[in-house]
């Protein structure tokens, strides 16, 4: 083998699989839920609530996977470290980001921020709906549409969400503010992925689809 061929063989990039199916499915499912409930569905509608419950199940799965999943998926592989995140962003600004086996420090901080926002969104959503399932909400709205308010009264729903106007308004406001914050964080996340993909010379988003990367 010539020196040129040997050099080419050494330069050939290795392919690794850092993202297992659970990480990829939960990642895109949460992204879809945030976009759908933030931009498409009607707030308080049955579909909005269904997506919220689905997001709760997906988030619970991802958090559990962070404890028992493969090494790259575990929280120990990407602990929240603000100083490391700032250092990584500084390296990225200079066009010299370092490779990481799991999320890079800035991506890790973004993941934890989005998860925290989603927890608040789910918690305030449950308070606003009284913890009722989407099926129950759909049945109640159907009864009201038919002029039958008895079911709402029987379940104590005649204004229970707003019997303490201040608390109800505060919960709703927190829900809306966090929803907008999540959309902003999602945009920043996409911008960071684009910037780092350019700096590293590879498509990071593709890796989250295929599970493979160079």
Distance between CA atoms of residues 67 and 76, nearest Å: 8
pLDDT tens for the chain, 214 residues long, are 544 454 444 444 566 667 899 999 999 999 999 999 999 998 888 899 999 999 999 999 999 999 999 999 999 999 999 999 999 999 898 888 888 878 999 999 999 999 999 999 999 999 988 877 666 666 666 555 555 444 444 444 444 444 456 777 899 999 999 999 999 999 999 999 999 989 888 888 888 888 776 6
How many C-alpha atoms does 126 have within 13 Å on its Cβ side? 10
Beta bridge partner(s), residue 213:
16
122-154: b or e for each residue (b if 16 or more CB lie within 10 Å)? Answer: bebbbbbbeeeebebbbebeeeeeeeeeeebee
Distance between CA atoms of residues 149 and 138, nearest Å: 13
Q: What pLDDT is recorded for position 10?
A: 46
Q: What pLDDT is recorded for position 99?
A: 81
């Amino acid at each position: 083998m010539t020196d040129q061929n040997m050099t080419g063989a050494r330069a050939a990039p290795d392919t690794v699989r850092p993202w297992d199916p659970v990480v990829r499915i939960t990642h895109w499912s949460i992204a879809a839920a945030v976009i759908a409930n933030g931009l498409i569905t009607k707030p308080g509608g049955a579909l909005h609530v269904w997506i919220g419950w689905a997001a709760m199940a997906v988030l619970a799965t991802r958090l559990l996977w962070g404890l028992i999943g493969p090494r790259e998926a575990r929280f120990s592989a990407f602990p929240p470290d603000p100083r490391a995140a700032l250092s990584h962003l500084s390296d990225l600004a200079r066009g010299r980001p370092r490779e990481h086996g799991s999320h890079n420090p800035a991506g890790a901080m973004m993941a934890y921020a989005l998860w925290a926002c989603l927890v608040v969104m789910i918690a305030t959503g449950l308070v606003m709906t009284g913890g009722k399932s989407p099926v129950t909400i759909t049945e109640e709205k159907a009864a009201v549409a038919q002029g039958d308010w008895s079911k709402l009264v029987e379940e104590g729903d005649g204004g229970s969400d707003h019997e303490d106007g201040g608390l109800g308004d505060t919960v709703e406001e927190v829900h809306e503010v966090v929803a907008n914050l999540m959309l902003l964080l999602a945009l920043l996340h996409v911008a960071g992925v684009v910037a780092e993909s350019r700096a590293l010379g590879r498509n990071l988003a593709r890796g989250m689809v295929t599970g493979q990367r160079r």
